[in-house]
Amino acid sequence: METEAIARAIKLTAQLMELHQENPFKVKSLINAAFRLDKTDVSLSGKSLSELEKMEGIGKGIAQKIVELEETGTLKELDQLLEKTPKGVIEMLGIKGIGPKKVAQLWKELGVESPGELLYACKENRLVELKGFGAKTQESVKKAIEFNQASKGRFHYASLESYALNLVEEIKKKLHTSLVSLTGEMRRKDILVDKLEILIGSDKLYTLSESEVMPGLNLELLYCSKEEFAAELFRTTGSAAHLDGLGAKAINLKSPESEEAIYASMNMQYVEPELREGRGEIELAREHKLPRLIETKDLKGILHNHSNWSDGIHTLKEMAEYCRELGYEYLGMCDHSQSAFYANGLKPDRVLAQQKEIEELNKIMAPFRIFKGIESDILFDGSLDYSNDILASFDFIVASIHSVLKMDEQKATSRLIKAIENPYTTILGHPTGRLLLSREGYPINHAKVIDACAANGVVMELNAHPYRLDIDWTWIYYCLEKGVKISINPDAHEKQGYHDMYFGVCAARKGMLSKDMCFNALGLPEMAAWFNKRNSSAAKPGS
Ligand SMILES: [Zn+2]
Ligand SMILES: [Zn+2]
């Protein structure tokens, strides 16, 4: 075994012992030994126990470990430590700037079990108030994880978009042509992107400068002639399923002027890039039945947001004023409910105090309106987080699962359905709890959950946070088929979070969502009437 590998194994043992709060003296001596071994160029192989013991900084205990590693390739102690530590927690030890003690604290106090979950915790400001952390540490942890994720070569669409669009503009400028476009996954706005492709209709080549290269990103510049630009854009944008579905008929035009002309030549409606996934869009386009897809300007209000009453950064007033400033007609406030103690969830007395503040603000801010909402935890048995009289005091309720995420499909599905059947539930929040690139989310039977929403008049959330985008867009078709409306909710924990609705709209368009079926495309009077109707029937169950 190489000395380096021995040093690594010993260091990991020390880190894990510290993580599990074992003897600090032993931890220290292991760390010192690992440090020395890492620096030495002396080969350890073939050395006897007594020879090893005599080396500087290597006592008897360490010498025994080296021999064990040489003989078996592993350490019993290390294996035991690894066994009782979740894989993601071990990965967290690799994040720059936080040692094992802090990792233990994040794991034990916040329940964070992977770098991805930790990144999300940063975005929700969970580290700001945590003892020994603070805003500065939170920011550096966030940067370190983002860097690690990027180096794995997959990116959230949101983290690439502005970089990609800037690069397109730069190429246009340098090559003096307007024929430059994103294509492939990026143009289809896939929620995760493995490859950034840019099509250039020019015979001149563009050289990327060093500062334009993003670490870890697979970037490809594709070239074609000016005349073939539209045809090539069409060929490189659609997924294989879309292009195969169009079959041999695709492009029977010579040097088509535009993609619109290509689809028109096949007697089809134009298919928006986001839809070119081979999921039924071709048939609809042939029948001229594709709907007009939702756009950000169709959204009239912002539901599901957090203020500093729970774990958000801004005050209720700041959240409301910024919402109004952006031109929206209403804001739905949904701070966390009482069981979410880690997020400063609202006990009943604070619910009532917040509602009073909302009423005061509504007087001043009319006709703008703040709706009294809550993001109620769905408890383990599927019930909501307050008694019925408190539940009845809200205008609307987003019901979400935040705790005990380790469930099998049957448990998760029945837990959700019980919440959906609660007459006070208005919207089902982030139905799978996934965090893209970091947490799978619990498995659910999507069809059953959506059927239950349809049967109970519950709206489905498309959580617009670019790490969630949950419900997945591929299930929006089924929601629409069943008449379940989709609410595009930013789950904003600060004012700027509202802008994430754009990424929700991108994903919703992939799912073929139209304005009619988007819940928060309802204007204020319609939304108020909808809530009223829903709540009066909740108060009289069975009617
Ligand atoms: Zn939530
Ligand atoms: Zn939330």
Residue 368 is encoded by which pair of tokens? 């703008």
Residue 82 C-alpha to ligand 2 middle, in angstroms? 33
| Residue 428 counted as domain residue | yes
Q: Which ligand is nearest to the CA of 400?
A: 1
- Residue type at position 390: I
In the block, tokens 């539209």 appear at 230
Residue-wise pLDDT for 124-172, tens only, equals: 999 998 999 999 999 999 988 887 777 678 899 999 999 999 999 999 9
Q: What pLDDT digit, counting tens, does each position of 172-205 carry? A: 999 999 999 999 999 999 999 999 999 999 999 9
Do 186 and 143 sit in the same domain of this protein? no
Q: What percent of the chain has pLDDT over 90?
A: 82
Instruction: Say which ligand is closest to the CA of 497.
Output: 2
Residue 537 clears pLDDT 50, i.e. is over it: yes
Nearest ligand by distance to the CA of 401? 1
**Residue 212 near residue 163 (C-beta atoms within 8 A):** no
Dist. CA 375 → ligand 2 center (Å): 6
What's the CA-to-centroid distance between 76 and ligand 1, angstroms?
Answer: 41
Q: Are residues 270 and 415 in the same domain?
A: no
Residue 305 lies in a domain: yes
pLDDT over 50 at 543, yes or no: no
From the CA of 435, which ligand is nearest? 1
The whole-number average pLDDT for the span 302-314 is 96
Ligand nearest to the CA of 399: 1
Task: Please tell me the distance between residue 491's alpha carbon and the centre of ligand 2 in angstroms.
Answer: 5
Query: How many whole angstroms from 271 Cα to the centroid of ligand 1?
Result: 34
Q: Cα Rg for the chain, rounded, in angstroms?
A: 28
Residue 310 lies in a domain: yes
Paired tokens of 193: 């992107």
Rounded to the nearest whole angstrom, what is the distance from the C-alpha of residue 78 to the centroid of ligand 2?
Answer: 39
Per-residue model confidence as pLDDT tens digits over 20-50: 999 999 999 999 999 888 887 777 878 888 8
For residue 45, the model assigns a pLDDT of 79
Distance 103 CA to ligand 1 centre (A): 23
- Measured in angstroms, how far is the CA atom of residue 137 from the centroid of ligand 2? 23
The answer on 49 and 21 residing in a single domain is yes
Report CA(468)–ligand 2 centroid distance (Å): 11
User: Which is nearest to 224 in space by CA: 241, 239, 237?
Assistant: 237
Angstrom CA distances, 273 to 44, 222, 293, 511, stand at 60, 18, 11, 12
pLDDT at 97: 82
Q: Is residue 509 part of a domain?
A: yes
What is the token pair recorded at 90?
């071990």
In the reported structure, the alpha carbon of residue 402 is separated from the centroid of ligand 1 by a whole-number distance in angstroms of 6
- Assess contact for 231 and 206: CB atoms under 8 A: no
- Ligand 2 centre to CA of 335 (Å) is 7
How does pLDDT run across 232-287, given as a tens digit for each residue? 999 999 999 999 999 866 787 888 999 999 999 999 999 999 999 999 999 999 99
Q: Which amino acid is at 290?
A: L
Q: Tell me which ligand sits closest to the C-alpha of residue 311.
A: 2
Q: Which ligand is nearest to the CA of 303?
A: 2
Q: Which of 242, 260, 286 is the last residue of a domain?
A: 286
What's the gap in Å between 117 CA and the centre of ligand 1? 13
Q: Which ligand is nearest to the CA of 334?
A: 2
Q: What is the CATH number of the domain that holds 171?
A: 3.30.460.10
Please indicate, yes or no, if residue 292 is contained in any of the structural domains.
Answer: no
Task: Please indicate, yes or no, whether residues 342 and 477 belong to a single structural domain of this protein.
Answer: yes
pLDDT higher than 50, residue 335: yes
291 in any annotated domain:
no
State the SS3 of 312-381. CCCCHHHHHHHHHHCCCCEEEECCEECCCHHHCCECHHHHHHHHHHHHHHHHHHCCCEEEEEEEEECCCC
Ligand 2: centre distance to CA 306 (Å): 6
The ligand minimizing its distance to the Cα of 304 is 2
Asked if residue 193 lies in contact with residue 154, where contact means CB atoms within 8 angstroms, the answer is yes
- Shared domain check, 526 and 405: yes
**pLDDT interval class at 298 (50, 70, 90):** very high
Ligand nearest to the CA of 489: 2
**Main-chain dihedrals φ then ψ at residue 419, nearest 5 degrees:** -65, -40
DSSP sequence for 188-228: TT-SEESEEEEEEESSS--PPPGGGPPTT-EEEEEEE-STT
Q: What is the CATH number of the domain that holds 67?
A: 1.10.150.110
Q: How far is the CA of 11 from the centre of ligand 1 (A)?
A: 37
pLDDT in tens, 510-519: 999 999 999 9
Strand order, beta sheet including 330-333: 301-305, 330-333, 369-377, 396-400, 427-428, 459-463, 486-489
pTM for the complete prediction? Answer: 0.82
CA of 377 to the centre of ligand 2 (A): 10
- Ligand 2 geometric centre to CA of 498 (Å): 12
The fraction of the chain above a pLDDT of 70, given in percent, is 99
Q: Which ligand is nearest to the CA of 373?
A: 2
How many Å lie between the centroid of ligand 1 and the Cα of residue 83? 31
Please give the distance, rounded to the nearest whole angstrom, from the Cα atom of residue 502 to the centre of ligand 2. Answer: 17
Residue 467: which of 496, 441, 495 has the closest Cα? 441
Centre of ligand 1 to C-alpha 121, Å, is: 12
What is the rounded distance in angstroms from the CA atom of residue 76 to the CA atom of residue 78?
Answer: 5
CA distance 175 to 200: 9
Tokens 């001229």 sit on residue: 288
d(CA 174, CA 205): 10
Residue that terminates a domain, selected from 103, 125, 150: 150
Token pair in block for residue 418: 């019980």
| Tokens encoding 247 | 């079959």
CA distance 222 to 372: 51
Instruction: Choose between 294 and 212: higher pLDDT.
Output: 294
**Ligand with minimal distance to 430 CA:** 1
Ligand located closest to 433 CA:
1
Relative to beta strand 369-377, strand 330-333 is parallel
**What tens digit of pLDDT does each residue of 437-482 get?**
878 899 999 999 999 999 999 999 999 999 999 999 999 999 999 9
Looking at per-residue confidence, does 211 or 68 come out higher?
68
Q: Under a CB-based contact definition with an 8 Å cutoff, are residues 167 and 143 in contact?
A: no
Residue 541 clears pLDDT 70, i.e. is over it: no
pLDDT in tens, 442-451: 999 999 999 9
Residues 363 and 500 in one domain: yes
Residue whose entry in the numeric block shows the structure tokens 């109004």: 324
Nearest to 112 by CA among 89, 87, 80, 81: 89
Together in a domain, 373 and 439: yes
Asked if residue 393 and residue 331 are part of one domain, the reply reads yes
Ligand 1 centroid–CA 401 distance in Å is 7
Q: For position 86, what pLDDT does the model report?
A: 93
Measured distance CA(15)–CA(30) in Å, rounded: 9
Cα 530 to chain centroid, rounded: 29
Total domain count, the chain: 3
Neighbours of ion ligand 2 (CB under 5 A): 375, 491
Per residue in 155-186, is it b (16+ CB within 10 Å) or e — as a string?
bbbbbbbeebeebbeebbeebeeebbbbbbbb
Ligand nearest to the CA of 310: 2
Distance 356 CA to ligand 2 centre (A): 21
Same domain, 275 and 328: no
Ligand with an atom nearest the CA of residue 403: 1
Do you find a cis peptide bond into 367, omega within 30 degrees of 0?
A: yes
Is 543 inside any structural domain?
no
Q: Are residues 225 and 314 in the same domain?
A: no
Structural domain for 45, as ranges: 3-150
Q: What is the bridge-based pairing of β-strands 330-333 and 218-224?
A: unpaired
What are the tokens at 17?
Answer: 């012992």
- Asked if the structure places residue 344 within a domain, the reply is yes
- Whether 367 and 472 map to the same domain: the answer is yes
Residue 143 and residue 200 in one domain: no
- Distance (Å, whole) CA 391 – CA 352: 11
Domain boundary among the residues 131, 150, 169 is at 150
| CATH classification of the domain holding 330 | 3.20.20.140
